[in-house]
Amino acid sequence: MPCCSYCSNPNHNIRNCDSPTISIHYDNLKNIFVEVNTNTLFPQLNKFNYINRICRIYNANILKAVSVKYAYSLSNLNKHIYAANIYNHFIQLIQIPSEQYLNEEDELTWFIDRAPQRNINNNMFIPINPLRSNLLNYLEYIAAQDEFIPFTENLQQNKFKITPIVSRYKTGEKKDLDNECPICYENLKNEDIVTLNCNHHFCKTCIINTLKTNKNGEPSCALCRETICSMLVPNGETYDSVAEYCVL
């Protein structure tokens, strides 16, 4: 029987794992992201530094669990790609304040009292860096949150020109396919199978996540890249879930 590759529970896969340690690792990875992107001299190296740092600290299984659950990654990638996907997720989620400067009206300019006049022109200003106080305020904010709410919930939901069709087969009339979902590698069961117009089969969870996270025009099959225009779904529940992303 297939089981979760993170907690070994046979009742779910890693994408639906509810182990509390995943959210703990997620918060720690988020704090490292804020630290790496704050007070940095070379922001163009932030992603490189973050990936190398968390790959030294965490094993591939932890990064996989966080990346699959929160960044909607595939479950068959390598450690560094999981780390990169986590970084890209936080880039969209967290607003890092940029360095700011005071205007001349906001602060007096420096001057040397050695001469009876100012040695610095009034049109010069002094740079200040408020990142430390902003970071402390942010950390206090995230500590007060009861749970993480994915940022995608507040985004406008995509709608695609896809026609979902409920399968005519009833329970017990059709044997389960003897293969795995090409995305999550879980065994396919009748109640989970979604067949695309290209005749490739996937589990309903992966198809729904594909529609939910697609940002590049019309979604396509993960195997042959043919545009998805119709799909055969196993039951009314799956139909309702898919229909949320379809122009009917």
In DSSP notation, 116-144 reads SS-SS-TT---B---HHHHHHHHHHHHHT
202-236 pLDDT, tens digit each: 998 898 888 888 877 788 898 888 899 999 888 88
φ, ψ at 67 (rounded to 5°):
-65, -40
Q: How many helices and strands in the chain, by DSSP H and E?
A: 7, 4
- Average pLDDT of the chain? 76
- What is the structure's pLDDT at 177? 57
For the record, the structure tokens of 71 come out as 């960044």
Would you say residue 15 has pLDDT above 80?
yes
Query: What order do you get walking across the sheet with 230-233 strand by strand?
Result: 163-166, 230-233, 193-196, 201-203
The predicted pLDDT at position 130 comes to 53
Q: What is the pLDDT of residues 166-215, one digit of tens each?
A: 876 554 455 555 578 888 888 888 788 899 999 998 998 898 888 888 87
Question: In which band, very low, low, confident or very high, does the pLDDT at 245 lie, cut at 50, 70 and 90?
Answer: confident
pTM of model > 0.95? no
Q: By three-state DSSP, how is residue 36 classified?
A: helix
Q: What is the DSSP letter of 101?
A: B
Domains in the chain, start-ordered, CATH in brackets?
1-154 (no CATH), 163-243 (3.30.40.10)
Whether residue 53 has pLDDT greater than 60:
yes
The pLDDT assigned to 55 comes to 94
Q: Is 51 helix (H, G, I), strand (E, B) or coil?
A: helix
Greater pLDDT, 97 or 60: 60
For residue 90, pLDDT over 90 is answered with yes
**Do residues 205 and 184 make contact, with C-beta atoms less than 8 angstroms apart?**
yes
Structure tokens at 131: 């990142």
- Return all residues near 140 (Cβ < 8 A) that are at least 6 apart: none
Token output for 169: 């087969």
Tokens of 31: 């704090």
What's the rounded Cα separation, in Å, for the pair 228 and 161? 8
The larger pLDDT score, comparing residue 116 to residue 22, is at: 22
At 157 the pLDDT is 63
pLDDT at residue number 161: 85
Q: What is the pLDDT of residue 156?
A: 56
